[in-house]
Copies of this chain bind each other. A is one copy, B any other.
Amino acid sequence: MQDITVTIAALTRRIEELEDERAIRTVLSDYALAVDGNNAEAMAQLYAEDCAIDIDSAVFFNGREDAKRIVTGEAHQSILPDCAHIMGPFSIAIDGDRAVATGYATIFVRRDGDVGVWRQAYGRWELVKRDRRWQILCRQSRSTGRVESQSILNAALQKDAGR
């Protein structure tokens, strides 16, 4: 009987990790729906209250309220409603109530009827589970075309190797 209780607890943890991965993937795909949907409020809720966002070491957003400018800012407004944020794929490493998703973002924009790539970047998304909900705590985005951007990818591979 004791054995069965221990076994069930172990299975429950494994199911929870699968559910965590699913929830994290949903946060990342909901992010795309929110920015392409011109929905700053829904997008902000995907970030943690104390989030930190770093785009190419050049553009920064700090905190949920500030993050709304990702949607309301001039650059993003200029590509609506012509854009599609194709997120991923991502390699996701979960460690308790923390997780890191590493992967791609390819932003397409329609211009005069033709769809092309507006921006492509490698991304590191650090998430935290708070109040039973996965939220984006730190995000680094690095445009392709720079050798130093590769470090984002290799950091994820080292983590995987350590498993």
Contacts and interface: CB of A to CB of B under 8 A. Distances in A.
Interface of A: 4-5, 7-8, 11-12, 14-15, 18-19, 21-22, 25-26, 28-30, 32-34, 36-39, 42, 45, 80-84, 86-92, 102-104, 106, 108, 110, 114-117, 119-120, 122, 144-147, 149-150, 153-154, 156-157, 160-161
Contact of A86 (B21, B39, B104, B157): B104
Contacts of A91: 26, 29-30, 33
B108 A84 contact: no
B153 A36 contact: yes
A70 to B, nearest CB: 15
A30 B150 contact: no
B104 A157 contact: no
A81 B18 contact: no
A29 B124 CA distance: 14
A36 B122 contact: yes
A153 to B, nearest CB: 4
Contact of A39 (B28, B32, B153): B153
Given A14-B15, A37-B150, A42-B154, 19 more contacts: A7-B8, A8-B8, A14-B19, A15-B15, A18-B18, A18-B22, A29-B103, A32-B104, A33-B102, A34-B157, A36-B153, A80-B150, A81-B145, A81-B149, A81-B150, A84-B106, A108-B117, A110-B145, A114-B116
